[in-house]
Amino acid sequence: MTQRDLNRAVARVTGESVDMIERMGFGELHESTGERQPNSIDWDAHDDARLAVSAVRRRRLAAAV
């Protein structure tokens, strides 16, 4: 399927114009061959980094006074 064919098919299903679909930039989905990274946050590491930045700021403010 060409990009033009895909744009027409999406436009037909959604009711949008082909021009609008082209501006939105639809593309084919490809299966990923590798494993996906988990969408999670290591909150301990996040807090450690945040607290470290806060400590540096406090020291700078104390030194400026």
pLDDT tens figures, 25-60: 888 877 766 777 778 888 998 888 888 888 788 888
Could you tell me if residue 45 is inside a domain? no
Q: Is residue 18 part of a domain?
A: yes
The pLDDT-based confidence of 15 (bands split at 50, 70, 90) is: very high
In a domain, 20, yes or no: yes
Domain contains 52: no
**Which has more confidence, 4 or 62?**
4
Q: How far is CA 58 from CA 49, 51, 61, in A?
A: 14, 10, 5
Between 7-16, 20-29, 54-63, the lowest mean confidence (pLDDT) is in: 54-63
In whole angstroms, what is the distance from residue 24 CA to residue 3 CA?
A: 12
For residue 38, tell me if it sits in a domain. no
Whether 35 maps to a domain, the answer reads no
Q: How many domains does the chain have?
A: 1
Domain around 2: 1-28
| 43 part of a folded domain | no
